Amino acid sequence: MSREPLATVELDGFLRLNRASLSEFQAALRLLAVLPSIQCSSTHDSDSAVGALYVVASDQGTVICLAVKQELIITGWDSPVPLWLRVLAGQVRIGERCGVRDVHREACRTAPGSLALRLAAGTRLVMAVPAAPPMVPVGQTSRSVSGSTICCLIDRFLLQARFFRDSEQAHAGTRELISRLVELETTGEVFAELASPVLDRRVKRAIDRIRSQPDWQFDLPELASHAGASERNLYYLMKRETGVTPYRFYQRCRLVRVRRRLVDCQCEEPHISHYAADAGFSHLGRFAALYREHFGELPSETIQWRRSLLDRAASKQAG
């Protein structure tokens, strides 16, 4: 079977901030990490856009992806829990009590306590943040987990995240990732089949076609021909390797495009129905139900989260 390595992707369905200012980044990280001590700074103009932030949460912890266009410095991360970091692109300089280290396109664990991060321009960083400190048995120290193992676990999660059917599955996937990272640290158990994930080339061609052509109208025969498979075989391959059908993935991509516009929306009266219609959703009620099923919130709540963050950042600056 012809296969190729998976290209690492961000959590595109979980965008929270896009073209965010420095003050927004700081307000968001303080809120998500529950750490008012966090400070964000940059060597660039503080009014220019720093980048984007993606978030998916569970009762066990949160996964955050930072995609920065300019250098970002984060200090005051005084956390009682360790962090597992996966650098997808660029470079991160990590400052801890034990010293300073640079991480390039790899993964590592940081210790609880005071932490400083310097993200170079163009860096994409995934952070797995547990809700509580790992419970290490009495008389035992935390196990050392290799960076390659952390990479594999996070990369598998990122692959799954592209195809989460709904918010419930997203929460379950996040819970599983955090639980496995914690279990590795507390038991030292090495899980089987931790090779980097791959997709069948035919599935990847179909996915790339759907993602790269926003105006394309779903046509299974055409998609199968482009992928180099029969309709039945493409349906089977997509379902087996991603857990979703070709149409379900097509529908999800349309919802993600609307979410990006809602996150970016700065107008007083957002035209949710207009954004939905542009993505091919003709029935606003049905669109709202699908949106809530996928993202765990209504379209209006997506807009309100960004606005409340802007208000929070503005009040901090005024204070």
What residue ranges do the domains of the chain occupy?
A: 3-196, 200-304
Pairing verdict, β 99-104 and 124-130: unpaired
Does the structure show a pLDDT above 70 at 140?
no
Question: What are the Cα distances from residue 51, in Å, to 69, 70, 71, 118, 154?
Answer: 5, 7, 10, 14, 21
Token pair listed for 91 = 């470079």
Domain 200-304 sits in CATH at: 1.10.10.60
Determine the average pLDDT of the residues in 229-244.
Answer: 95
Q: Using one digit for the tens of pLDDT, what is the confidence trace for 193-224?
A: 556 667 899 999 999 999 988 889 999 999 99
pLDDT score for 199 = 87
The one-letter code for the residue type at 270 is P
Token pair listed for 268 = 């007083």
Does the structure show a pLDDT above 50 at 46?
yes
Average pLDDT value for the chain: 87
CATH 1.10.540.10 at 3-196, yes or no: no
Determine the average pLDDT of the residues in 113-122.
Answer: 95
Does the structure show a pLDDT above 60 at 137?
no
Does the structure show a pLDDT above 60 at 183?
yes
Does the structure show a pLDDT above 90 at 191?
no
Does the structure show a pLDDT above 50 at 71?
yes
pLDDT score for 196 = 61
